[in-house]
Amino acid sequence: MKGRKPTPPQVHKLRGTFKKCRHSDTLDLPTSTPEPPEHLDDIALDEWNRLVGELAQVGTLHKLDRTLLATYCVLWSHLTQAERGIREHGLVIKGATGAAQASPYYSVAMRAASQLTRIAAELGLSPSSRARLKVQPPADQDDEFERMLNGMTA
């Protein structure tokens, strides 16, 4: 499919641009918190718990996002472990022949970082995708003007 990716209805609601006439044919799923998959290691599970809390606050998380979120967390674990390997062994290691070569941890880290960046944009975790979410604070319920606009008497 060519062109710009469609914006989810939850994002339109957060931005204040949701129009029933334009977005009535979109799938509007209620926000919900998925359970973490059992295969996550400790590093991935920590990242899962951190992200679920953050995404739930914004209101863009649904159970259908479980696989994408789990993939992100597994890649985060790979990146973290690769960075530890780089820190321990260095970027350049001695190969089988004794010649210097790039650490295999470096290629793992670069692949994980590249994939993390793409998934982060899908989940709204990158700075540019987050900048497009303009979350408006809830209206003050005690505001007299708001009560008049909503048809409530003072």
In this predicted structure, the answer to whether residue 135 has a pLDDT above a threshold of 60 is: no
In a domain, 4, yes or no: no
Q: Determine the pLDDT at residue 55.
A: 85
Q: Is the distance from CB of 34 to CB of 61 less than 8 angstroms?
A: yes
In a domain, 130, yes or no: yes
In a domain, 154, yes or no: no
Report d(CA 107, CA 47) in Å as an integer: 22
Domain that holds residue 86: 9-149
Report d(CA 98, CA 81) in Å as an integer: 25
Selected residue with higher pLDDT from 27 and 87: 87
The mean of the pLDDT values for the chain is: 80
Per the structure block, which two tokens stand in for 59? 């209101």
In a domain, 51, yes or no: yes
In a domain, 2, yes or no: no
In a domain, 115, yes or no: yes
Q: What is the domain count for the chain?
A: 1
Task: State pLDDT tens for residues 3-55.
Answer: 666 666 667 667 777 776 665 555 455 567 889 999 999 999 999 999 998 88
In a domain, 103, yes or no: yes
In a domain, 81, yes or no: yes
Secondary structure of residue 94 in the 3-state scheme: strand
Report d(CA 56, CA 137) in Å as an integer: 15
Distance of CA 94 to CAs 37, 88, 104, Å?
38, 14, 11
Please give the average per-residue pLDDT across 130-149, as a whole number: 56
